[in-house]
Amino acid sequence: MLTKLVQIYMPLVMGVLIGWLASYWLPKQTPVYLGKGLFLFGVPISVFVFLRQTDRSDSIWLAGVAAWGAMLTGLGLMYWWLRWGKPKHNRLTAARSTQGTILLASMVGNTGYLGLPIALSLFGNTGFAWALFYDLLGTTLGAYGVGAMIASRYGPGKPGSSSTLPRIWQNPTLWTFMLALIYQDPLPEFVEQGLRSIAWGAISLALILIGMRLGQLTSLHQIRQTAIPLGLKMLLLPLLIWGITAPLPIPTIAKQVIVLQTAMPPAFATLVLAESYSLDPEFAVALIATGTGGLLFTLPLWLWLTGLLG
């Protein structure tokens, strides 16, 4: 068990640590440029490379259904707690802007830059495909679709800068996703090799980007108040999803990937939406940072529960 955890954690921790250290001496705009590069080139190429190498069954589309089920369940549970289960005089839930931020964090997980590398390291290309379908058909559409609607409802008015919100159809990953589904012919070997190198490099840079973003976060004084939202997002919700998917007639690897993707900490999209719609960016920062660190402790639980650790 210890050997497996070391194999999983080593590339994750090293990548994030390198990014965190680099954030102190690289220009502050570096994560912005790196993020744009990954968004436009790195992640789309990775999707194209790994998806073409995967045998896709008809059931893999259920990953998107599972993603929406998990997001809506998390949203419903957190809405119930905010409406009826919250303790009286709790400052955490006093402001509607903070409530909106909590709802977004309970719904949208970091299934892209964090969930995909974990799935690839644990399951190879087949698991990566399930995680990718979960992310693109669920998280991406949910974050900037339903998530934007929630942010607009709980914000004080129109978004301060709508240009910061990427339109779904402008996401190049979705286009390469569809291209990989359609185009299966082999490319020249030197092209395939070059694309594979870029794809693996993009996975490493995604982890470094997470470290850079975490290194720039400063508003962490609300960490104690993240316990309930993160407990629901990273503990209760994956447990419910595991109970629901366990008896279903789908591949075991699919159940494992779905649970792990559900257990991912809040995504950076939470902060993007919170800033754009004037919600509570400071609390979004606390949720992201605490959740990302907490994954080191919750991941072994889900690996054991899903049978990946004996």
The answer to whether residue 24 sits within a structural domain is yes
CATH of the domain at 83: 1.20.1530.20
Residue with tokens 């030197």, as numbered in its chain:
190
> Which range marks the domain in which residue 281 is found?
2-305
Taking the alpha carbons at both ends of the chain, their separation in whole angstroms is 6
Longest dimension (CA), the chain: 65
DSSP lists the bridge partners of residue 266 as: 109
Query: For 204, left (φ over 0), alpha (ψ -120 to 50), or beta?
Result: alpha
Q: Closest Cα partner for 147 from 288, 271, 291?
A: 271
114 within some domain: yes
43 occurs within a structural domain: yes
Q: Is residue 219 part of a domain?
A: yes
pLDDT per residue rounded down to tens, the chain (310 residues): 567 778 788 888 999 999 999 999 999 889 889 988 988 888 889 888 888 877 667 788 899 999 999 999 999 999 998 887 665 545 555 688 899 999 999 999 999 889 998 998 888 888 888 999 999 889 988 887 888 889 888 888 654 444 455 566 677 888 888 898 888 788 899 998 999 999 989 889 989 998 998 887 776 667 788 998 999 999 999 999 999 999 988 889 999 999 999 999 999 889 888 888 888 888 888 899 899 999 999 999 999 888 877 6
Provide the number of structural domains found in the chain: 1
Judge whether 83 lies within some domain: yes
| Residue 310, in any domain of the structure | no
Q: Taking the model in full, what pTM does it have?
A: 0.86
Residue 280: helix, strand or coil by DSSP?
Answer: coil
**Amino acid in position 191:** V
CA–CA gap between residue 310 and residue 246 (Å, rounded): 18
